[in-house]
Amino acid sequence: MKLRPPRLVHEQRILVMALVAGSPAVLTCMLILWLGDYTARVQWTLTALILGVWLGFCFALRERVASPLRTLANLLEAMREGDYSIRARHSKSGDAMGEVMQQVNAMSATLREQRLGALEATTLLRKVMEEINVAVFAFDADRRLRLVNRAGERLLNQPAVRLLDQSAEALELDSYLEGEAQRTAQRTFPGGTARWGVSRSLFREGGLPHQLVVVTDLTRPLREEELKAWQRLVRVLGHELNNSLTPIKSIAGSLESILARQPRPEDWEVDMRRGLAVIAARSEALSRFMSAYAMLAKLPRPTLLPVEVGELVRRVAGLETRIAPQLLPGPHLVIQADPDQLEQLLINVIRNAADASLETGGGVRVGWERQDSRLTVWVRDEGHGLPNTANLFVPFFTTKPSGTGIGLVLSRQIAEAHGGVLTLQNAPEGRGCEARLVLPLSQ
């Protein structure tokens, strides 16, 4: 086994190089001095002087090179430890080592500002985390709790000291680390019972994956939305009921006054029949309104079956007899959908397009296309367009004299139940409106 000679450190290499650089001159002087005709006193004096100056300059050179490097090492160590208050001295421009010192000082100042900003941002984040009324939990890769805010402590009714490092199973939060990232749940926690909104996301800390779980109390927002929904429903029902009951009440009073006359007019039977016919018509309209609302409120979940898009669109387009829709061919596609509900949706949309085109004498075009992993079915009319798009999907809002105001609402519910979306907008070019149904190709 060969033993390798020990490697010289940087300072020792500098010293050896300085000694080697000066050795030829020193040896030459020694030969001239000791071989020449000089006295012993002169020889020893000059020898000591030459060797002293030579060695002194060599060691001085070593320190001159090593001292700035030690300073740099101290500065970098201080920055590594988080101390940015130390600065290098004698950092002059135009000097190589001085420029290095200036750059190190600039880096120290930059790191100090960044650290101060990070500390302020962290302090603000912690303050916000403590003050918000949303429970926040952070779990590591082993499903152990690493972070919890004050709202999370109240939700689990335990201090953070006892909660940290516990497993998600022990805290009964393991079900929220799997499945859908966004969900709602009715659950009883130690801190209260309510309907909760649970959101999960991923982040990394120290290069390791963590999961962030946010639990929000939805009771109050849901109650406010429920109250608004009831208020809207009462306004709509009250408006429709008044529209039907007011003429019924008026006509009933008129008929009662006719019967109370003595003698009765000769045409009282005609007036009675006419009044009763109006009452029957308004009652039937009110019954249709209530049936339409019941259908809107009781839409069943879709039964997914294989549906060939082209066949469905052609069949529905053929049901419109007032205007023969122009069918533009599309690709062969099969989707998973409820054929009855999807057919009802397309019937409503094509019928609305035909109603709009009949007013202007225009036509209707229907087509479908594939866009990435989604199907788009579009229906374009040549009517006057949409004067107001804000209330299109408001229940019972209609611009038609005989409309119920639920067709588009029901159609949008069907689209959303299939994971899609239904939109209506004015045509970007020309007149008319375009309805677009976008559905996923796979459920």
**241 and 349 part of one domain:** no
Query: What is the rounded distance in angstroms from the CA atom of residue 309 to the CA atom of residue 377?
Result: 9
**Domain shared by 325 and 415, yes or no:** yes
> Are 166 and 257 found together in one domain?
no
| CATH, residue 189 | 3.30.450.20
Find the range with the poorest average confidence among 250-259, 348-357, 377-386: 250-259
Q: pLDDT category, 368, cuts 50, 70, 90? A: very high
Q: Name the burial class of residue 381, with classes exposed (0-12), middle (13-18) and buried (19+) by CB atoms within 10 angstroms of its CB.
A: buried
Per-residue pLDDT for 395 more than 60?
no
One domain, residues 152 and 53: no
**Rounded distance between C-alpha atoms, residue 229 and residue 269, angstroms:** 46
The reply to whether 1 falls in a domain is no
Q: What is the pTM of this model?
A: 0.43
Query: Is the domain of 326 the same as that of 428?
Result: yes
Tell me if 101 is assigned to some domain.
Answer: no
What's the chain look like in SS3? CCCCCCCCCHHHHHHHHHHHHHHHHHHHHHHHHHHCCCCHHHHHHHHHHHHHHHHHHHHHHHHHHHHHHHHHHHHHHHHHCCCCCCCCCCCCCCCHHHHHHHHHHHHHHHHHHHHHHHHHHHHHHHHHHHHCCCEEEEECCCCEEEEECHHHHHHHCCCHHHHCCCEHHHHCCHHHHCCCCEEEEEEEECCEEEEEEEEEEEEEECCEEEEEEEEEECHHHHHHHHHHHHHHHHHHHHHHHHHHHHHHHHHHHHHHHHHHCCCCCCCHHHHHHHHHHHHHHHHHHHHHHHHHHHHHHCCCCCCCEEEEHHHHHHHHHHHCCCCCCEECCCCCCEEEECHHHHHHHHHHHHHHHHHHHHHHCCCEEEEEEEECCEEEEEEEECCCCCCCCCCCCCCCCCCCCCCCCCHHHHHHHHHHHCCCEEEEEECCCCCCEEEEEEEECCC
153, 163 in Cβ contact below 8 A?
Answer: yes
Residues 213 and 284 in one domain: no
Instruction: Judge if 324 and 390 occupy the same domain.
Output: yes
Structure tokens at 376: 């788009």
Domain boundary residue, one of 264, 297, 330: 297
From residue 286, how far is each of 173, 175, 282, 293, 315 by CA, in Å? 50, 48, 6, 11, 33
Q: For residue range 156-195, what is the model confidence (pLDDT) as tens digits?
A: 888 888 889 999 898 888 888 888 888 887 778 887 777 7
The token pair that represents 261 in the structure block: 């006359």
231 pLDDT more than 90: no
Q: Which residue has the higher pLDDT, 270 or 388?
A: 270
Q: Categorize the per-residue pLDDT at 239 as very low, low, confident or very high, splitting at 50, 70 and 90.
A: low
Domain that holds residue 24: 10-80
Mean pLDDT of all residues in the chain?
81
Structure tokens given for 146: 């690493």
Q: Are residues 433 and 315 in the same domain?
A: yes
Look up residue 300 and give its two tokens: 């069943």
Whether 430 and 311 map to the same domain: the answer is yes
What pLDDT score does 182 carry? 86
Whether the per-residue pLDDT at 414 is higher than 60: the answer is: yes
Mean pLDDT confidence for 132-153 = 88
Length of the chain (residues)? 443
The whole-number average pLDDT for the span 56-62 is: 88
2 has a pLDDT exceeding 80: no
Q: Is the same domain home to 213 and 226?
A: no
Whether residue 204 has pLDDT greater than 90: no
Show the tokens assigned to 4.
Answer: 């390798």
For the residues 374-383, what does the mean pLDDT come to? Answer: 90
Does residue 98 fall inside a structural domain?
A: no
pLDDT band at 369 (very low <50, low <70, confident <90, very high): very high
The token duo for 9 is 């450190």
Amino acid letter for position 195: R
Mean pLDDT across 35-63: 88
Inform me whether the pLDDT recorded for 366 exceeds 90.
yes
Give yes or no for residue 393 having a pLDDT over 60: no
Percent of the chain with pLDDT over 90: 10
Q: Looking at the predicted structure, is the pLDDT value of residue 47 above 70? A: yes
Boundary residue ending a domain (251, 281, 297) = 297
Confidence band of 296 (pLDDT split at 50, 70, 90): low
In the predicted model, is pLDDT for residue 199 greater than 80?
Answer: yes
84 pLDDT above the threshold of 90: no
- Does 322 lie in the same domain as 343? yes
Q: Which residue, 45, 63, 80, sits at the end of a domain? A: 80
The answer to the question of residue 96 being in a domain is: no
pLDDT at 124 over 70: yes
> Which tokens sit at 266?
């000769």
Neighbouring CB atoms inside 10 A of 388's CB total: 8
Name the pLDDT band for 280 (thresholds 50, 70, 90): confident
Average pLDDT over residues 67-90: 79
C-beta atoms surrounding 232 within 10 Å? 13
pLDDT at 392: 57
Number of domains within the chain: 4
pLDDT score, position 72: 81
432 and 314 together in one domain: yes
Indicate whether 230 pLDDT > 70.
no
Q: What is the mean pLDDT of residues 385-393?
A: 61
